[in-house]
Amino acid sequence: MRKIIFREIGMENYGPYTEPFILECPENSLTLITGPNGVGKTIAMDSMSFTFYGTTSKNERGDDVVNNQVGKNCHTWVKFEDSDGNTYVCDRYHKHSKYKNTARLTRNGEDKPYRVGHREVSAEIDRLICDRKTFTNTLMFGQKVKDFFTDLTDTAQKDIFWKLLDLLKYKHYQATAKTESDKTEKTIQSTLNEIEVAKGIIENLESQIEEENKRADAFEIDRKRMLDTLNESIGDMKTLIKTTEEALEKIPDEDLKPLQEAVFILKGKLENVGQDAANIKKEVEAEGYKKVNELTDTRNQKQKEVSAKYQKQREDIESQEEETRNANATILSEIKEKQKSVELESSGHTATISGNNNQIEKLKSTDLEIGSPCPTCLEAITKKSIENIESIIGKLIQENQGHMQTLESLQKQYDELESEWAREHLDGNDKMSTLAQKKMELKAKEEAELKAIENRLSELKQQIADVANNTLKERIQELEVNAQKMQSDLTKAESVYFEAEKNFKDRQAIQQKLTEYNTKVDGFKDQIKTTEEKEFDESQLKHLKNSKQQKLKEIEDSKAKVSEVEAEIKRLAFWKEAFSKSGIPSMLIDQAVPLMNASMRKYLDLLSNGRYIVTFDTISQTKGGEYRDKFSVNVLDTKTQVNNRKQLSGGQTRLIDIATILTLRDLKAELGEVEFNLFGFDEIFDALDDSNIGYVCGILNSLKENRSLLVISHRHQDELEADNHIQLT
Ligand SMILES: Nc1ncnc2c1ncn2[C@@H]1O[C@H](COP(=O)(O)OP(=O)(O)OP(=O)(O)O)[C@@H](O)[C@H]1O
Ligand SMILES: [Mg+2]
């Protein structure tokens, strides 16, 4: 049996607790918790239910328990261990600044919780410890617990009873057995269907096998027909070969090579005729060119001689021209020199005249008054002076007249020189034009002689060309006659060759056909061989037969499977029955009821000295005599004979409740799977008289062995053997 050992119950910002408050659970001890009304005793014990299931014994949840003053960071926790040595911490947070509203379950001091969230944690607590109802009815005896066993309906009581004995799992086992059984039924059905399907497939396979056998027979018939046809074809082909060979013999078999060579040679010669003509032309032309070149050289020589002769004469005339030009130029320049000296002399006279005239003017313009200063000598003018001046003027005029006369004679000389220059110039020109005339005549003569030489050359060239043309014509004619003969030879040689070539091709074509016919004969022979060797493909037939065998085996296997599964169904039917209410659960209940009744009797004897009798029933008989699965608690006050729970007083009910919770706890310890080290009692003495309080104290004192008892009480503290006392203020 598993054991759960509770170590610590803690809370902070929960109910009235703003500071962390821890309730330890020491073993083998009774802890008494006291304090005034409303100090927080009940809510502290309730923190365990709140931590595990999110609700207190008074059904307070989340926001109800967060400390009103702080308004946040509500945290409660329970530390416990299991019998395998695992340690657990279950934390619940509400309005918590770090964890918000959640629950966490941590194992063996690991950093991360292994269950997080209300649902996850509650499910794990149900598994590890027990569900909430069992918790309320076996661990904590509350002050004002609504859900306590004796107040519950028959059905709810039965539910707790089943949970205590862990009977619900048999329902699940039965359901599993039923599902398995249904599944197996289905398997049988589907296997039978498979057998039917396989039978259908076998029928189909058999008809396919029959078809395949028919195909094998048809294959043999076809092979024989094919062989006949092929032999017939070979016969036909041999007749054809014979006829073709006869035709081949009739066609002459000549050697094409010499004939082809003859044609080739003639063609080559004919092709050369053009080249020969070109060569003749070149030869004749070269002869002509040679002669023309010789004549041209002669002409050039003659022309050179003529040009040299006339060049000599021209040079003579040109030297005469030079001499004449020079002599004339000397004469003309001498005349010009003379003219220049006359001019020079004339200009001297002209200057003197002008100077004299100026002096005359000056003397004439002077106021020649006696006594006034002389403009020339500045002495006072005298009559003599005046006469003297007038004589000077007279002399000057006279002098000027002499100069004038000289000037006239000089002009005459100049004019005569001018006429002489003109005469000499004309004479020079005449001489030069006579010489020029001579030169022109020479030029004309030279040109005439050169022209005559040129004309002669042209005449000779023409004669040479004529001779060359005639020679060329004759030789080409000769060549053409030869070419015509060669052409006629070629035509003949070609026709002989073409005839031979045609025969050759005809023979080739016939030989080709003969090869084809022989290949066909070989092909037919090959086909005969393959046809003879060909065998009917029996793989499909084999495959079909195999498939049929396989299907037959499958049917055998399926039949074996059906009988196997039928045995399984019988086995499952047994388990269905065993797990049903009338099976194992009924057996366990049968075992539990006397245990419970004995336990109840034991506690009630202690508490009431046998006044009250409480028994449990699980199966009741109907009027029809059938049995019904029902749970009931029967109460009897032996003193008043009251057997209805509602008729009992508050104290009586309290006593029966105490006996019941102790009985249920015993039952759980005896038949359940888990046992706890903790037992909590809140105001257990309420409504009890002093003697009953004494009995209860006796029971509590005896219960602390191997356990931790938490007892909240205002009264009779002395009668309890408390090991620890927590005084809340
Ligand atoms: N959310 C809350 N914030 C602060 N205080 C609360 C909160 N909820 C309950 N309380 C207070 O906590 C106390 C809870 O009372 P509890 O039932 O534990 O008292 P008790 O010590 O068992 O008293 P009694 O002897 O009367 O049974 C009450 O005084 C109540 O006013
Ligand atoms: Mg209380």
- Ion ligand 2: residues, CB < 5 A: 42, 143
Residues 244, 261, single domain; the answer is no
Residues 208 and 283 in one domain: no
- Domain boundary among the residues 461, 484, 504 is at 504
Of 43, 29, 164, nearest in space to 700 by CA: 29
Quote the CA–CA distance of 572 and 177 in Å, as a whole number.
Answer: 6
pLDDT at 425 over 90: yes
Whole-number Cα distances in Å, 542 to 202, 387, 537, 546, 547? 14, 191, 9, 6, 8
Q: Residue 729: CB within 6 Å of ligand 1?
A: no
* Alpha-carbon separation of residue 643 from 461, 602, 634, 636, 647 (angstroms): 179, 19, 7, 4, 8
Assess whether 178 and 145 both reside in one domain. no
- Residue 723 maps to a domain: yes
Q: Is 358 part of any domain?
A: yes
Domain contains 519: no
Give the model's confidence band at 118: pLDDT under 50 very low, under 70 low, under 90 confident, else very high.
Answer: very high
Percent of the chain with pLDDT over 70: 97
Q: How far is the CA of 42 from the centre of ligand 2 (A)?
A: 4
Give domain status of residue 528, yes or no.
no
What is the best residue among 42, 66, 69, 76 to mutate for testing ligand 1's pocket, by most ligand atoms within 8 Å of CB? Answer: 42
- Give 124 Cα–ligand 2 centroid separation in angstroms: 29
* Structure confidence by residue, pLDDT tens digits, 489-506: 999 999 999 999 999 999
Residues 282 and 226 in one domain: no
E-assigned strand segments in 215-254: none
Please check whether residues 317 and 460 belong to one and the same domain: yes
Residues 6 or more apart whose Cβ sits within 8 Å of residue 283: none
Please check whether residues 204 and 313 belong to one and the same domain: no
Do 86 and 186 lie in one domain? The reply is: no
Number of domains in the chain: 3
Asked if residue 683 lies in contact with residue 700, where contact means CB atoms within 8 angstroms, the answer is: no
Instruction: Please tell me if the CB atom of residue 33 comes closer than 6 angstroms to any atom of ligand 1.
Output: no
Q: Are 142 and 41 in the same domain?
A: yes
The residue whose CA has the least distance to atom 17 of ligand 1 is 42
Residue 640 is predicted with a pLDDT of 92
In this prediction, residue 1 carries a pLDDT of 77
The highest-confidence range among 158-172, 310-324, 696-710, 714-728, by mean pLDDT, is 310-324
Q: Of 487, 504, 521, which closes a domain?
A: 504
Residue 348 lies in a domain: yes
Q: How high is the pLDDT of residue 300?
A: 93
- pLDDT of res. 626: 58
Residue nearest to atom 18 of ligand 1 (CA): 40
Asked if the structure places residue 472 within a domain, the reply is yes
- Ligand 1 probe mutation, 13, 18, 41, 685, most atoms within 8 A of CB: 41
HSE-CB for 29 with a 13 A CA cutoff? 12
Q: Let me know whether 279 and 304 are in one domain.
A: yes
**What SS3 class is residue 389?**
helix
Q: Model confidence over 611-658: pLDDT tens digits? A: 889 888 776 555 665 555 666 788 899 999 998 878 888 888 888 888
> Which pLDDT does position 147 carry in this prediction?
56
| 647 Cα: distance to centroid of ligand 2 (angstroms) | 26
**Chain position carrying tokens 């649902």:** 119
Q: What's the Cα-to-Cα distance from 163 to each of 121, 122, 135, rounded to whole Å?
A: 19, 16, 11
Q: pLDDT digits over 542-583, tens only? A: 999 999 999 999 999 999 988 888 888 888 888 888 888 778
Q: 671 in a domain, yes or no?
A: yes
* Distance of CA 35 from the midpoint of ligand 2 (Å): 9
Considering the domain architecture, whether residues 261 and 231 belong to the same structural domain is answered as: no
The pLDDT value recorded for residue 145 is 54
Helix (H, G, I), strand (E, B) or coil at 615: strand
Residue 359 maps to which CATH number? 1.20.1270
Convert 276-309 to b/e letters by CB count within 10 Å (16 or more is b): ebeebeeebeeebeebbeebeeebeebbeebeee
Encoded tokens for 178: 């039923």
Q: Kindly state whether residue 704 falls inside one of the protein's structural domains.
A: yes
497 with 375, same domain: the answer is yes
| Domain at 621, CATH number | 3.40.50.300
Rounded Cα distance between 2 and 7, Å, is 16
Q: Do 456 and 472 fall into the same domain? A: yes
Is 630 within 8 Å of 156 (Cβ atoms)? no
Q: Residue 649: which domain range? A: 2-166+584-727
